[in-house]
Amino acid sequence: MTMFPSREHLAAYQAILDGWGIYPALLVDRYLNVVAWNDSGNRVFGDFFICSERERNAVWSTFMDPSQRERLVHWEQAARRSIALLRARSDRYANETWFGELITDLYQASPEFRTWWPEHNILFTCHDQNEINHPLIGSLAFQGTTLVMPERPDLQIMVHTPLSKFDTTTKLRAFMNEKSIVEITG
């Protein structure tokens, strides 16, 4: 069972996420569930509004959403990193059955997860560069940074700063501006 932030806290976190503008930003809980996002994060990583809670889990999505295999240029690296994050979290919250259920489900559903989970890699934070093949705007490159919320260490903000490679900033500005124009005229 996911422990969501209170409405008051969620509004404050949402303001922080929205403040990142064109930089995709996500609020992730202890289970690696995306619980809030800014517009850019939603448009770059997929439509979170139509996803179930399970589908908003970063590890589940990486392994079980076919569009993520196409979107993540270095899918295997991202998948292995997500396993290492999951292992760190499941070790930290060892008494929570939620993790065991997710691991069992992934073990049954994904041959890659079955192969890589026994390697026992652990990762505590995410500060790497990643490339995305976006279906509408093409190749994008980001520097991922994880920010821990001091008042809620079980929540983290993941900000994806555009890199100059592939002219990511220009593409994001045009993409986000395109939506604004449609909203104003539509």
- Report the distance separating Cα 124 and Cα 104, nearest Å: 21
Long-range contacts of 178-185 (CB under 8 A, 24+ apart): 179/39, 179/43
Question: Residue 82 in contact with residue 65, Cβ under 8 Å?
Answer: no
Residue 1 confidence (pLDDT) above 70: no
Taking alpha carbons only, the member of 86, 111, 106 closest to residue 31 is 86
Q: What is the pLDDT of residues 45-60, one digit of tens each?
A: 999 999 999 999 999 9
- Report the distance separating Cα 150 and Cα 155, nearest Å: 9
pTM for the full model? Answer: 0.88
pLDDT confidence band for 8 (50 / 70 / 90):
confident
Specify the DSSP class assigned to residue 32: S
More reliable by pLDDT, 98 or 180: 98
Run of H or E including 61: helix 58-64
Class of the CATH domain delimited by 7-185: alpha beta
Residue 131 confidence (pLDDT) above 80: yes
Reduced to 3 states, what is the DSSP secondary structure of residue 1?
A: coil
